[in-house]
Each structure stands twice: as structure tokens, then as C-alpha cells.
Structure 1
């Protein structure tokens, strides 16, 4: 097997989870809107804020990877939701499903042999698809860990 294919397969596994932790879809399953907006003492965010932050950041990274006319967002205001809670269960489910779809979109970019993993993106500052895939995986893992801790504090994690 070619080394490039091995790297692509390992990136896919890293993005989808199930190496050091369960698949991302399993970890986000069963979150209720009423719990997603509950504040936890001494923490500056809710489950909803973390979930929406993951979605917003993921789609910004995907946009950066795919759009040569990419426009940089403002940090931190464009990466974090203003509201502490989702409008309803449908809004929460939509955000979670968008995260799962976004991860799969990154997987598709990685799996496409026409995409050079190491070629710097023309509109970037040296970033390449390999680096952006690692960024998505690291960012998601970091916040998934926080989500699990919040769910345990709320008593909604097994």
C-alpha cells in the first residue's frame, strides 16, 4: 500500500474517532435541548455553546480548504454563539447533524486522491489539507472531551 494512502486512512480514522474514543456521533448522541442550555457553576459555556462552536469552527475550516476566495472570520465573535441554549431540540439536532456531515465532508476531501495533502493552499499562509485535517481532529477531540465532562456534571452521561 502506498504511503500516501496509509496517511489518508489514518487521517480518516482520526477524524471519525474510534481510536482513542468512541465515534463522534456516539459521543454527541442523546443530548437534550433542555440540558444543552443549562449553565454549570464556574464554567463560561454550556453544552450548546460548545456544540455550536464546534460546528462554526469546522465549517470555517472547510470553507478555508475549499474556497480560494475565503474571507477570514473575526475571533472570537464569529466562532462562538451568543445564546447559551438552542432555540429547541430541532436546532440542537441540526447543529449536531451538521458537525457529523462536516466531518464526513473533511473525510471526503482527505480520501480524494486528486487532493494533494501537502500542497500549500494558494490563499493560505503555508497551510495544507493535511494540516487542516489535523486541526479539525484536534479541535473536535478537545471539545468532545469538554462535552463529556459537562454531560457528566449534568448527570446525562453514562
Structure 2
């Protein structure tokens, strides 16, 4: 592998894991009291659970699209957002967090396994690089929202 490609892969992995300029996903969801996961503070349209579920679904969709030509994306927008405001159990919460971590690691593995710049054969111009940047951008946006919700609920470190 070329030195420049390895540098890019290392930077993409860092970016996907939370970058250096802001809070990463694991830090954003750490130690949230279970009973607050379904709260929608101050008229916000979503809870922490809904944001985490949305990150999980969207990231999974981008991963599957990147590797599987027969993948069918959920219907937009309803297929990307849960109706429930809170998880049904602590186990469901834990499984959602594990799925996000698993899919992110799978995407990072995918980055190293192919050409970053080639068009994905079943796409309409997307590349693995584009999908990586989209995952990072999308996750960062919603991670920031999780932090805001936590601040409004009074459960964010200051």
C-alpha cells in the first residue's frame, strides 16, 4: 500500500472514531441514566434513544450499501427513525450501542480492503471514500445533538 493511501486510511479511521475536534460517539453516550433515554427536553423533536437509533440505522445502511449490491435501504425518512422514544429495555440499549460499534468497525475494515476512489459498482457515483466521509459527517452531526440533549437534561459533564 502506498504511503499516502495509508496516511489517508489512518486519518479516515480517526475521523470515523470521533476525530480530534469534538466528542466521539462512545463518550457522548457514556453513563446516561436509563430513565432519561426517552426524554425530549424543551420541545425537541427527538430523544437520545431516537438519535442513537437513527445513527445505528443510517450507519448500517451506508455500510451495507457499500458492500452489497442487493441491499435495500429503508424508506426515507420513516425507515431511519424509530417511532419509540425510549428503548424497551437496557438490553435493547446495549445491543444498539454494540451494533453501532460493530458496524463502524466493519466499515473501517472495508476501507482497508478496497480502492477508496473507485465507484461502487451498484451505486450512482459513490465511492468508499465518499461513504466514509458521509458516515463521519452524519454521525458527528447527531452526536452533537446527543450532547445538547444531555446538557438540557442536566447529565453532561461540564
TM-score between the two structures when normalised by the length of structure 2: 0.93
Distance 2:6 2:45 in 1: 41
- Counterpart for residue 5 of structure 1: 6
Cα pair 1:55 1:95 within 8 Å, conserved: yes
How far apart are residue 129 of structure 1 and its match?
0.2
Cα pair 1:24 1:100 within 8 Å, conserved: no
- Mark the runs of 5 or more structure 2 residues left unpaired by the alignment: none
- Counterpart for residue 69 of structure 2: 68
Cα pair 2:59 2:103 within 8 Å, conserved: yes
- Counterpart for residue 154 of structure 2: 155
How far apart are residue 2 of structure 1 and its match?
1.7
Distance 2:30 2:109 in 1: 23
- CA displacement, residues 76-110 of structure 1 (integer Å, 9 cap, x when unaligned): 01100011111011111111121122111111111
- Counterpart for residue 138 of structure 1: 137
Distance 2:33 2:103 in 1: 21
Distance 2:26 2:112 in 1: 20
Larger displacement relative to structure 2 (27-36 or 52-61): 27-36
How far apart are residue 41 of structure 1 and its match?
2.3
Moved over 3 A (4+): none
- Counterpart for residue 122 of structure 1: 121
Cα pair 2:24 2:143 within 8 Å, conserved: no
- CA displacement, residues 28-54 of structure 1 (integer Å, 9 cap, x when unaligned): 211232111012122110111100000
Distance 1:20 1:8 in 2: 18
Distance 1:127 1:149 in 2: 32
- Counterpart for residue 26 of structure 2: 25
TM-score between the two structures when normalised by the length of structure 1: 0.93
